[in-house]
Amino acid sequence: MLKILPLLLLLIGAGAGIAAGHFMAPEPVHDDAEAEKADPKEHEEDIQPTEFVKLNNQFVVPVVQSDRVASLVVMSLSLETQAGARERVFEREPKLRDLFLRVLFDHANMGGFDGAFTRPGKLDVLRQSLADVAHKELGDDVASVLITDIARQDN
C-alpha cells in the first residue's frame, strides 16, 4: 500500500495538470491571411490610407534643475495623418508647435526627461499627450504622433 500511494498521487497530479492546461489554454489565434481569403473586401473598407508629415524644425526643450538649465532635449516629431491632410498640418504648424512645446515643457518640468527618459512607459505618456493636443487642433485627421529623433545633451 505504501508503494502504491506515491504512484497514485503522481497520476492524480499529472491528470490535474493536464486538465488545468487544457482549460486555461488561450483561444487559438486566427490568421488574418485566412480571414482575407474568405472575404477580402470586408477588410479593405477598414483600412484607410495614411501619410507621414514631418514637422519642419526640431523641438528644443530645456531641462531645468536647481534654477539652471541642466540639459537640453532635442527631438523631431512627425504626424501620421489621413491621406490628404498634409496641407492642413502645415497651415496649422505654428499653433501645433506651440501646443507641442507646452506639452514638452510640462513633461520636462515633471521630470519626464530625467534619468532613463527613453523607457517605453515614459515615452508612451509623452506620445499620448502630444497626440491629445494634435487631435484637439486637427481632429480625426491625426492618427498618431511619432517621435522620430530624440537626444539629451547634459551640461
Three-state DSSP string of the chain: CCCHHHHHHHHHHHHHHHHHHHHHCCCCCCCHHHHHHHCHHHHHCCCCCEEEEECCCCEEEEEEECCEEEEEEEEEEEEEEECCCHHHHHHCHHHHHHHHHHHHHHHHHCCCCCCCCCCHHHHHHHHHHHHHHHHHHHHHHEEEEEEEEEEEEEC
R_g of the chain, CA atoms, integer Å: 26
Q: Are 150 and 73 a contacting pair, CB within 8 Å?
A: yes
Q: Are 105 and 115 a contacting pair, CB within 8 Å?
A: no
Say what the pLDDT of residue 29 is: 62
Say what the pLDDT of residue 136 is: 94
Tell me the C-alpha distance between 39 and 60, whole Å. 49
Say what the pLDDT of residue 121 is: 80
Say what the pLDDT of residue 5 is: 74
Say what the pLDDT of residue 12 is: 81
Q: Are 85 and 107 a contacting pair, CB within 8 Å?
A: no
Say what the pLDDT of residue 146 is: 93
Q: Which three cell numbers stand for residue 95?
A: 499653433
What is the mean pLDDT for each group of 10 consecutive residues in the chain (155 residues)? Answer: 71 74 66 57 66 93 91 94 92 94 94 86 89 93 92 90
Say what the pLDDT of residue 100 is: 96
For the entire predicted model, the pTM comes to 0.67
Burial of 113 (C-beta count, 10 Å sphere; 0-12/13-18/19+): buried
